[in-house]
Amino acid sequence: MIESMSKALTVEDLQREAALFARTESAHEESALFGVTDGKAVGTYLEHKFQQHLQSIYEYVRGSSAKGIDFPELSVDIKVTSIRQPQSSCPFKSASQKIYGLGYSLLVFVYDKRDDEARRTGRMDIQHTIFVEKHRTGDFQTTSGLRRLLENSANREDILAFFQERMLPVDEIEANALADEVMKHPPELGYLTVSNALQWRLQYSRVIEQAGAVGGILRLA
């Protein structure tokens, strides 16, 4: 039996390959992308191409919608977003994700798509490739507000009032349990903007600004 020559994918490999892929893809002209304005279609194209590249070299479990994230073994999800409106959605699991993070890291490709009318091709200029470690995936305003409250000796009632002001999507029982957790385990400062919706709406402007300047937010390319 012939053994596979593929090596197991690590987070470090993923980061390095993402940086190389971003540079290569930014120079690639693709006829299938010409005239495509649907952000979801563009994102799917880029994700699939990156996954195909990785699968030609590495061995890993590829995620699916059932598994929830793209690299379940590494606890990493890919997000592809336009520089014109750098945001995406992700599944809502619990309100605590806004405080303690999504529970996994994010590999974010931020692109500016340009069409060449003469050649009838589209090109993905990947302007930012950023890795957000999971402890930085909480909501900036929520985590910074809670940290300020705790620094000012806030009590349980102060925390509950803050949840109400921020319209955190919790019922009374969840709110009380979460307030106790925050008192015991103050959250790390998150750098996403996480908007309430049926799905979380993640916005990346602050991550783009802070990449490379803050621990846990790596600028790969």
Tens digits of per-residue pLDDT, 50-91?
999 999 999 999 987 656 899 999 999 999 999 999 999 999
For residue 1, the model assigns a pLDDT of 37
pLDDT of residue 68: 82
In a domain, residue 16? The reply is: yes
> Is residue 189 a part of any domain in this protein?
no
Is 167 contained in some domain? no
* pLDDT at residue number 67: 61
pLDDT bucket at 167, cuts 50 / 70 / 90: very high
| 194 in any annotated domain | no
Asked if the structure places residue 213 within a domain, the reply is yes
The answer to the question of residue 46 being in a domain is yes
Rounded mean pLDDT, 201-219: 97
CATH number for the domain including 113? 3.40.210.20
Q: By C-alpha distance, which of 123, 92, 98 is closest to 23?
A: 123
Q: What is the pLDDT of residues 1-16, one digit of tens each?
A: 344 567 999 999 999 9
Number of domains in the chain: 1
For the chain, what is the mean pLDDT? 94
- % of the chain residues with pLDDT over 70: 96
d(CA 221, CA 202): 21
Boundaries of domain holding 14: 7-88+103-137+203-219
Q: How confident is the model at residue 197 (pLDDT cuts 50, 70, 90)?
A: confident
Which tens digits make up the pLDDT trace of 8-44?
999 999 999 999 999 999 999 999 999 999 999 999 9
Enumerate residues 6+ apart whose C-beta is below 8 A from 113: 33, 36, 42, 82, 122, 123, 124, 125
Confidence at residue 5, expressed as pLDDT on a 0 to 100 scale: 63
> Does 208 map to a domain?
yes
Task: Return phi, psi of residue 82, to 5°.
Answer: -80, 145
Which among 210, 27, 193 is positioned nearest to 125, based on CA atoms? Answer: 27
Residue 98 domain flag? no
- State pTM to two decimals: 0.93
